[in-house]
Chain A
Amino acid sequence: MDAIRVEGLTKEFDAVTAVDDLSFAVEQGEIFGLLGPNGAGKSTLINMLVTLLDSTSGTARVNGYDINDETGDVRDSLGIVFQEPAVDEELTGAENLAFHARMYGKPKAERERRIPEVLELVDLADEADQPVESYSGGMQRRLEIGRGLMHEPAVLFLDEPTTGLDARTRRDTWEYIQRLNEQSDVTIIITTHYMDEADFLCERVAIMDHGEIVAVDSPESLKDSLGGDVVTLGLENPSRELFARLDEQSWVREHTETEEGVAVTMAHGDTRVADLVRLADDAGASIASVDLRKPTLENVFLSLTGSTISEREASATDRREDGEDRTTAEAAEVAE
């Protein structure tokens, strides 16, 4: 059984389609990313999956339960960390967890066992009895992630889990998420508009744009689909001999002459730099510089959609400021 199976799921706001006939599946135990610019429909999709928003058409199963007909079982099966903080700052960390456990019907014995366990897991045991308003942003996030796991759900949703955190706290949070996934075997669905986050954390990524999924695969395969890494050799004396030799190598996918020298495309560029240098040496070309570029998910997004994520987000902002007609992206953002 898949952790999540989405079939033809659609959400329309007025005349605008925020999520457009999506179908995909998430396997049990994986970290699955929904990557796309703000306004792509990620949060709308999540809100439907966690039963906070009704779908216009189509359906989905979470942990085998239908999101339209088995709302209670779906809610029991999932934990969620919302994009905006959703903790009670006047209560302590432990009290927030206790509140959550009661809402999920956990009896006293189970609460007493589970609360210290979760606090330990997210490294907040020492701060358990401090009011949450005294927590740092990273600590609050950790508390929320721990709370999402409190009732031992099959699926944990993390909606933009590191937005608003500083670089170091982001790193730490990623490591927590990975550790949780390994230790508790929970399936994790993460939405993000950070390429590096999706790349670092996710086993598979669905790239979303304008309410549609344009590609689903592992970050490596997505990047490989672009043809591989590009090594650029700066040459002091361009040599015909080198180009001829490059043609003979089976691992060279493509090479093009550039102003400074030559750009060579290949898989696993980092392991081929030495070969390339030797080749140039043998051909009598003297090397001025070596540059290795690995494709990023940003390149993938660009090649799939024709614009970068930040361009998409900037244009969504512009349109809003100009007060033009509401677009898919904006309507979805309103929903988010």
Chain B
Amino acid sequence: MSLVDPLGIYGLWLRDVKRFLRTPSQIVGSLTFPLMFLLFLGFGFSGAAIPGLPEGVDYLQYLVPGIMGFTMLLGASFAGLAILSDQDVGFLKEILVAPVSRTSIVLGRIAGGSTTAIVQAVLILALSIPLGFELAGWLSIPLAAVFLLLIAITFVGFGIALASQFSDSEGFGLIVQFIVFPLFFLSGAIYPIEGLPGPVQYLALINPLTYGVDGLRAALVGASTYSPLLDFGALVVSSVVMVSVGAYLFERVETV
């Protein structure tokens, strides 16, 4: 068994994509939450003077990359859940008994989960344009794609690492709520982190989503708190760390 098995990874990816496309209700469902945040916060605070916003950037412009980051978090937690529901229905055994290394299985899962999460984030972006969101320029798209990919790898990796510590989907679903929302609120997605109390700011600084959202903002809006290169570097590090941790923990999952 080679460590990286392209055909196996492709098979896992294809399965995730097919399942995603076949359940439109799930696509709609997964977009509802982010869309509500986008609409209510976007319109509710549209005229408000929020301290710390970059100059010349109105609140909707500021908010859209943040909501895209939130969508990625939800998509990633769903990928973690997918592993556990495979375990619930017994399909995980079919995967684990195949001559494919655990690392390849984790990579295949990340590929599938990242693709579906990115599609959802892009749908949010598309829906925000009729609401008045303006792209900084055409270069925005490829730049944003790079950041979306790194956010996806980081958090799907995290989702897999977390899922491997649970034996069924119920407990996982509960815990995810307590992780997704703090990550979201402590990322500068809906307000600048400078507004947070000092010690809490440090939490935001170790949150990879902070750099993800900031990088997306740099790409899509053309304004960011940190240098896009710093954002990029931080996300590359978090991606490598999360994939390694995910692979390490998944290696130890016993199915029987």
Contact digits for B219-256, partner A, Cβ 8 Å, 1 yes 0 no: 00000000000000000000000000000000000111
B11 and A99 contacting across the interface, CB-CB below 8 Å? yes
Q: Which residue of the partner chain B has the closest CB to A52?
A: B256
Give chain A's interface secondary structure class. loop
A281 at the interface (CB under 8 A from B): no
Contact digits for A53-86, partner B, Cβ 8 Å, 1 yes 0 no: 1000000000000000001100110001010111
A90 at the interface (CB under 8 A from B): yes
Note all chain B residues with C-beta closer than 8 A to A87: 91, 94
Contact digits for A100-126, partner B, Cβ 8 Å, 1 yes 0 no: 101111010000000000000000000
Task: Give the shortest distance, in Å, between B100 (CB) and chain A (any CB).
Answer: 5
Task: Give the shortest distance, in Å, between A129 (CB) and chain B (any CB).
Answer: 13
Task: Give the shortest distance, in Å, between B20 (CB) and chain A (any CB).
Answer: 10
A100 and B256 contacting across the interface, CB-CB below 8 Å? no
Taking A89-B89, A105-B99 as contacts, is the C-beta distance between A99 and B256 under 8 angstroms?
Answer: no
Tell me, in angstroms, the Cα distance from A107 to B18 when the chains sit together.
20
Contact digits for A296-311, partner B, Cβ 8 Å, 1 yes 0 no: 0000000000000000
B90 and A88 contacting across the interface, CB-CB below 8 Å? no
Taking A52-B93, A82-B93 as contacts, is the C-beta distance between A102 and B256 under 8 angstroms?
Answer: no
B22 and A105 contacting across the interface, CB-CB below 8 Å? no
Note all chain B residues with C-beta closer than 8 A to A75: 1, 97-99
Note all chain B residues with C-beta closer than 8 A to A53: 254, 256
Contact of A102 among B1, B10, B94, B255 (CB under 8 A): B10
A90 and B23 contacting across the interface, CB-CB below 8 Å? yes
B98 and A52 contacting across the interface, CB-CB below 8 Å? no
Contact of A52 among B5, B91, B100, B255 (CB under 8 A): B255
Tell me, in angstroms, the Cα distance from A95 to B95 when the chains sit together.
14
Note all chain A residues with C-beta closer than 8 A to B90: 82, 84-86
Tell me, in angstroms, the Cα distance from A47 to B90 when the chains sit together.
14
A104 and B91 contacting across the interface, CB-CB below 8 Å? no
Note all chain B residues with C-beta closer than 8 A to A98: 11
A95 and B18 contacting across the interface, CB-CB below 8 Å? yes
A86 and B91 contacting across the interface, CB-CB below 8 Å? yes
Interface size class of B (residues with CB under 8 A): 20 to 34
Note all chain B residues with C-beta closer than 8 A to A52: 93, 96-97, 255-256
B8 and A105 contacting across the interface, CB-CB below 8 Å? yes
Tell me, in angstroms, the Cα distance from A47 to B93 when the chains sit together.
10
Tell me, in angstroms, the Cα distance from A85 to B92 when the chains sit together.
11
Tell me, in angstroms, the Cα distance from A90 to B99 when the chains sit together.
23
Tell me, in angstroms, the Cα distance from A274 to B19 when the chains sit together.
66
Task: Give the shortest distance, in Å, between B229 (CB) and chain A (any CB).
Answer: 38
Taking A87-B91, A91-B18 as contacts, is the C-beta distance between A104 and B97 under 8 angstroms?
Answer: no
Task: Give the shortest distance, in Å, between B85 (CB) and chain A (any CB).
Answer: 11
Q: Which residue of the partner chain B has the closest CB to A73?
A: B99
Tell me, in angstroms, the Cα distance from A104 to B8 when the chains sit together.
7
Q: Which residue of the partner chain B has the closest CB to A335?
A: B256
Q: Which residue of the partner chain A has the closest CB to B19?
A: A90
Contact of A103 among B98, B254, B255 (CB under 8 A): B98
A104 and B89 contacting across the interface, CB-CB below 8 Å? no
| B1, B93, B97, B98: residue with the most chain A Cβ atoms closer than 10 Å | B97
- Enumerate A161-202 residues with CB–CB distance to B below 8 Å: none
B146 at the interface (CB under 8 A from A): no
Q: Which residue of the partner chain A has the closest CB to B22?
A: A90
A103 and B91 contacting across the interface, CB-CB below 8 Å? no
Note all chain B residues with C-beta closer than 8 A to A95: 15, 18
Tell me, in angstroms, the Cα distance from A144 to B137 when the chains sit together.
52
Tell me, in angstroms, the Cα distance from A104 to B12 when the chains sit together.
12
Q: Which residue of the partner chain B has the closest CB to A47?
A: B256
Task: Give the shortest distance, in Å, between A184 (CB) and chain B (any CB).
Answer: 20
Tell me, in angstroms, the Cα distance from A90 to B25 when the chains sit together.
14
A50 at the interface (CB under 8 A from B): yes
Task: Give the shortest distance, in Å, between A37 (CB) and chain B (any CB).
Answer: 19
Tell me, in angstroms, the Cα distance from A85 to B11 when the chains sit together.
20
Note all chain A residues with C-beta closer than 8 A to B7: 102, 105, 107
A286 at the interface (CB under 8 A from B): no
Q: Which residue of the partner chain B has the closest CB to A144?
A: B94
Note all chain A residues with C-beta closer than 8 A to B19: 88, 90-91
Task: Give the shortest distance, in Å, between A211 (CB) and chain B (any CB).
Answer: 16
Task: Give the shortest distance, in Å, between A335 (CB) and chain B (any CB).
Answer: 6
Note all chain B residues with C-beta closer than 8 A to A335: 256
Note all chain A residues with C-beta closer than 8 A to B8: 102-103, 105
Note all chain A residues with C-beta closer than 8 A to B94: 82, 86-87, 100
Tell me, in angstroms, the Cα distance from A100 to B7 when the chains sit together.
11
Tell me, in angstroms, the Cα distance from A72 to B256 when the chains sit together.
19
Tell me, in angstroms, the Cα distance from A43 to B256 when the chains sit together.
9
In order of increasing CB-CB distance, the 6 nearest A-B pairs are A102-B11, A72-B1, A103-B98, A75-B99, A86-B90, A84-B90
Can you show 15 pairs from A to B with CB atoms below 8 A apart?
A52-B96, A52-B97, A71-B1, A75-B1, A75-B97, A82-B90, A82-B94, A86-B91, A86-B93, A89-B89, A90-B23, A95-B18, A99-B15, A102-B10, A105-B8
Show the binding face of B for A, using Cβ within 8 Å.
1, 5, 7-8, 10-12, 14-15, 18-19, 22-23, 89-91, 93-100, 254-256
